[in-house]
């Protein structure tokens, strides 16, 4: 009732007061003058003035009438508290959060039908005639009741901007951008249906104690569009998220405007403000705010409308979170599949463990042969990439703590002396965050990945990193166990070659024979020249060419007693007992020419391969490791020339 009276008073104009004065004059004449004709004239003047006043007011009421749909939540009246403060008059809705909860559906009570007793009983039955009446053939027709038709509803139409109907420019694979675009359009729609100058939506960052501007739509140039974060304080938006109550602020004092509305750079003449907290899963996560330059632009019906808007935002946010989680799991599954199919494990693991906003990603793995932790791969600036192959120091380091504890560790200079390497690691930016994630299986830790980014990962992002780290730990464990089993095998029956371990043992045995029997023996190392298309082949494809193409040709050149085995992943070793370096050179030249003239299938193409061969004659006073290093030196010289046989001198 009070709101209706205020609405009528706002519609009055000076001419209406003139009509009211005429009515009062007529009433005074009719009451205070004695002559009957004059009193009759006063009554007529009062009636005419009242008629003119009603005509003017009804015409203005009809022009100002708007369509107010009956919302479901309007049935429950919101409990409001009025506070008059220095900055303005605040209308606080205390039960706004409770009104957002789903009201239980009330089923109409149906009365149970009483059991009608039968007029006749089986045992006792009697009929008594009281009166006789003539049967009426038909009832006379009754006139149909006419109900007055409801008044026609006046509906206000809105012209939607063209951009609201266009498809969103956001990328379908980026839920964050799609949500931002949708919220901006939603705020534009709120401005369209309400007398609003600026509509803004804030998220609450409780960890940093600030409000983050998510979306806005405004016709004011004084909005802080370049500023995204606002610290929590005594402003009206901070009170919304801290108290969890909707508010309408009117009678705003110009001097307090800058204090109440932090998202403006300067006072802009705000006359009315309405704000509601945004709830998600029972907690306040932000605030939705509207302001206007018109006094009395917002009412409790506006709060009801914003309540539906808040519920809509919560449902949309729930859907986008599920979409984001689905994309994260899908991308993780695709990355894991690529890792399983990759020939080289370290680069594939780096791709699997990539963090979107990280500028530095460094992978350290355990190397069983050296019994140490080595920096094996890096997706980082050149200052980090040039450190690839260096050995990490675990004592007092960030990665060492992650390995020993098996948990995620964050950089703190008061706790750790260094991050990955003791002295050579590049400096960390003062505002950057650094953390290390261990790559563990159910039994051991086989690696650690180090990150540098502008800020720490969220709890959801940390859980995703840990999930991928467990997959990486299982893959590293599989490789480690395979290497342990492979190192125990001396003979590979599938390809009829000695393994690298077995080949070294045979070199030791041959050195003992050289020392004892004093006869010559030569060690040869063979490797395919990598150029053109061959430079793009993986290690597994090179091994396939060695065993499928080079090895059959090599066996045709072998003499009795010669041994063939793996020197490393892509190098074949041949032990030639009874041959000096000169004789072995002639043998190697014949093999090189035979391989160069043969055609090998490489993918869908057929190419001629060339070999580079390094030779060294076994010396009785040397060890097997020294002989292998000498042979590798000769092989590297041959590879630098290409298709060449080189003897170590």
As a whole number of Å, the CA-based R_g of the chain is: 45
Beta carbons within 8 Å of 482's beta carbon, 6+ residues apart? none
Locate 613 and state its tokens.
């061969």
User: Residue 144: beta bridge partners?
Assistant: none
List pLDDT tens digits, range 298-338. Answer: 988 899 899 999 999 989 888 888 887 888 778 777 877 87
Asked if residue 180 has pLDDT above 90, the reply is no
Beta strands, E only, 16-126: 80-84, 89-93
**3-state SS, residue 378:** strand
CA dist 189 and 159 (Å) reads 11
In the DSSP assignment, the letter for residue 305 is: H
- Taking a C-beta distance cutoff of 8 angstroms, is the pair 35, 51 a contact? no
Query: Would the pTM of this model clear 0.75, i.e. be above it?
Result: no
Give the pLDDT score at 8.
Answer: 66
How crowded is residue 385: how many other Cβ atoms within 10 Å of its Cβ?
13
Mean pLDDT of 364-393: 87
- Taking a C-beta distance cutoff of 8 angstroms, is the pair 212, 203 a contact? yes
Locate 351 and state its tokens.
């791709």
CA dist 545 and 565 (Å) reads 15
Confidence category of residue 211, pLDDT binned at 50, 70, 90: very high
Burial letters 175-208, b for 16+ CB under 10 A, else e: beebbbbbbbbbbbbbbeebebbbbbbbbbeeee
Confidence category of residue 487, pLDDT binned at 50, 70, 90: low
**3-state SS, residue 250:** strand
Tell how strand 521-528 and strand 571-577 pair up. Answer: antiparallel
Give the pLDDT score at 278.
Answer: 92
Asked if residue 70 has pLDDT above 60, the reply is no
List pLDDT tens digits, range 84-122. Answer: 766 677 778 776 776 666 444 444 444 444 444 444 444
Tell how strand 521-528 and strand 563-568 pair up. Answer: unpaired
Beta carbons within 8 Å of 195's beta carbon, 6+ residues apart? 292, 294, 297
CA dist 630 and 311 (Å) reads 76
Give the pLDDT score at 527.
Answer: 94
**3-state SS, residue 239:** helix
Question: What separation in angstroms does the CA of 296 have from each of 10, 91, 354?
Answer: 10, 12, 53
CA dist 490 and 606 (Å) reads 34
């Amino acid at each position: 009732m009070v709101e209706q009276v205020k609405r009528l008073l706002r519609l009055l104009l000076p001419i209406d007061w003139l009509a009211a004065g005429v009515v009062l004059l007529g009433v005074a004449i009719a009451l205070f003058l004695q002559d009957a004709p004059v009193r009759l004239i006063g009554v007529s003047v009062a009636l005419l003035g009242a008629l003119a006043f009603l005509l003017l007011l009804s015409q203005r009421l009809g022009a100002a009438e708007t369509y107010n749909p009956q919302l479901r939540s309007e049935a429950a009246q919101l409990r409001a508290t009025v506070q008059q403060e220095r900055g303005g008059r605040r209308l606080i809705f205390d039960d706004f959060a409770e009104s957002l909860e789903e009201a239980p559906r009330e089923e109409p009570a149906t009365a149970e039908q009483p059991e009608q007793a039968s007029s006749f009983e089986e045992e006792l039955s009697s009929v008594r005639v009281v009166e006789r009446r003539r049967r009426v053939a038909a009832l006379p027709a009754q006139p149909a009741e006419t109900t007055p038709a409801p008044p026609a509803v006046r509906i206000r139409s809105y012209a939607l901007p063209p951009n609201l109907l266009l498809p969103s420019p956001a990328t379908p694979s980026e839920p964050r951008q799609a949500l931002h675009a949708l919220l901006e359009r939603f705020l534009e729609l709120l401005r369209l249906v309400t007398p609003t100058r600026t509509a803004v939506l804030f998220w609450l960052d409780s960890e940093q104690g600030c409000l983050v501007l998510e979306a806005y739509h405004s016709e004011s140039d004084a909005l802080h569009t370049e500023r995204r974060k606002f610290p929590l304080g005594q402003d009206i938006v901070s009170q919304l998220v801290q108290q969890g109550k909707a508010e309408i602020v009117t009678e705003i004092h110009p001097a307090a405007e800058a204090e109440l509305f932090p998202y403006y750079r300067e006072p802009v003449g705000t006359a009315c403000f309405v704000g509601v907290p945004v709830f998600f899963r029972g907690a306040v996560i932000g605030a939705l705010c509207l302001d206007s330059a018109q006094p009395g632009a917002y009412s409790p019906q506006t709060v009801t409308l914003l309540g539906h808007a808040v519920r809509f935002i919560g449902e949309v946010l729930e859907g986008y979170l599920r979409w984001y989680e689905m994309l994260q799991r899908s991308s993780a599954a695709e990355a894991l599949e690529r890792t399983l199919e990759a020939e080289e494990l370290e680069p594939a693991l780096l791709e699997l463990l990539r963090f979107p906003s990280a500028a530095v990603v460094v992978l350290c793995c355990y190397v069983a042969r050296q019994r140490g932790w080595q920096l094996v791969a890096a997706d980082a600036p050149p200052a980090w990439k040039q450190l690839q192959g260096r050995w990490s120091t675990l004592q007092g380091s960030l990665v060492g703590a992650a390995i020993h504890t098996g948990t995620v560790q964050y950089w703190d200079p008061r706790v750790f002396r260094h991050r990955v390497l003791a002295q050579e690691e590049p400096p960390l930016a003062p505002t950057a965050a650094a953390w290390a994630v261990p790559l563990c299986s159910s039994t051991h830790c086989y690696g650690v990945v180090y990150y540098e980014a502008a800020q720490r990962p969220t709890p959801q992002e940390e859980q995703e990193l840990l999930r991928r780290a467990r997959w990486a730990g299982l893959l590293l464990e599989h490789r480690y166990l395979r290497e342990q089993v492979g190192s125990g095998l001396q003979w590979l029956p599938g390809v009829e070659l000695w393994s690298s371990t077995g080949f070294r043992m045979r070199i030791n045995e041959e050195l003992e024979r050289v020392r004892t029997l004093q006869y010559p023996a030569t060690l040869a190392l063979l490797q395919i020249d990598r150029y053109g298309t061959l430079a793009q082949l993986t290690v597994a494809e090179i091994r396939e060419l060695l065993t499928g193409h080079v090895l059959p040709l090599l066996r045709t050149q072998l003499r009795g007693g010669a041994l063939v085995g793996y020197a490393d992943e892509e190098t074949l070793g041949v032990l030639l007992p009874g041959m000096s370096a000169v004789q072995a050179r002639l043998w190697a030249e014949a093999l090189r020419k035979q391989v160069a003239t043969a055609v090998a299938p490489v993918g869908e193409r057929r190419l001629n391969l060339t070999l580079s061969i390094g030779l060294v004659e076994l010396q009785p006073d040397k060890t097997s490791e020294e002989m292998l290093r000498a042979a590798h030196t000769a092989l590297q010289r041959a590879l630098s020339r290409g298709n060449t046989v080189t003897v170590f001198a």
